[in-house]
A and B are shown apart, each in its own frame.
Chain A
Amino acid sequence: MNTIIKKYNLLVLVIFIVVLPVLLWSRVIISHRALYKEMISIMTILAFFQLLGQFYLNRSNKLVSYHKMGRVVKFHKIIGYLFIGILIFHPFLIVMPRYLEPGMSATDAFISLITTFKTGVVLGIISWVLMILLVLISLLRNRLGMKYRTWRTVHGVLSVVFIVLATWHAINLGRHTDVFMSAFMIVVAGGGIALYLRKLIRDLKEVGGENAKWNVAAPVFGDGRSRECAVASE
């Protein structure tokens, strides 16, 4: 059973963050739109789903614990840096067709884009800033002087805030987000957030509790035996 889970859990993840988004995108391919524009769209959609998938590629997902955590973290980092790189540039990619077509210049288009203070755009700008912040606290982890667990909590909570705002932004402004794509995004994001929050609550309960790993003195039971002795004698 463990072998089956180990073998297929990543395959299931790939189906959810690559295959299904591509299928949903292909439902809404906009007719008469240039191929390179559609390629930019699918690249952005896939990059966003890879970031949603990051919630399943960490220790809050029990299914990935069948793999070595060092390897999972390595993939988490590679996917994060690569696809956040694409999403950081996506506001510029959106105005790129203005270089190739007559009409408004790309610079004017970009200024119009970032100065339109409507819900979707504002959400996008906040998400973009949060994304930069996430990259910075990941790159500068050792220089921040935080304990690893504190850093992990900050990174996780910031990711949850980012993904909520980014999903809302994608649903509000995405040209390929119809009802099905929106529902799928909400399901994948909601599942990931639920997994993370469960792990976070467990971590917080652990802090200061009798199961805290950094408790020096082992808890002592009523009959004077330590926890380890009590477990060993059972």
Chain B
Amino acid sequence: MAIDQINGCIGCGICVQACPTDVIRMDEKSGKAVIRYPEDCQICHLCRMNCPVDAITITPEKSILVIVAWG
């Protein structure tokens, strides 16, 4: 598992749209994002990078370095 936990989600749904493999879904009851299919996570970090409140934690052991373009 790469995506670890979601704490302090505000329910904006940006991470759900950002995830290419649909790991994260919106919980209808709470209106917040939940990790539904963790085994499908490709550790792309898109959910974490697009979360406005930095609610998503990704396990560092399995993380790959994020390449950031200069300029």
Which residues of A approach B to under 8 Å, CB–CB? Answer: 30-33, 37, 94-95, 97-98, 101-104, 108-110, 112-113, 116, 118-121, 173-176
Contacts and interface: CB of A to CB of B under 8 A. Distances in A.
Contact of A32 (B14, B45, B60): B60
B66 A113 contact: no
A98 B54 contact: yes
A116 B12 contact: yes
B8 A104 contact: no
A73 B12 CA distance: 41
Contacts of B8: 173-175
Contacts of A102: 49, 66, 68
A95 B8 CA distance: 13
Given A33-B57, A174-B8, A112 B48 contact: no
B interface secondary structure, majority = loop
Contacts of B57: 30-33
Contact of B49 (A37, A95, A104): A104
Contacts of B42: none
B24 to A, nearest CB: 15
Interface of B: 4-5, 7-12, 14, 31, 45, 48-55, 57-60, 66, 68
Contacts of A30: 5, 7, 57
B50 A103 contact: yes
A101 B10 contact: no
Contacts of B5: 30
B51 to A, nearest CB: 8
A173 to B, nearest CB: 6
Contacts of A33: 57
A173 B33 CA distance: 12
A66 to B, nearest CB: 40
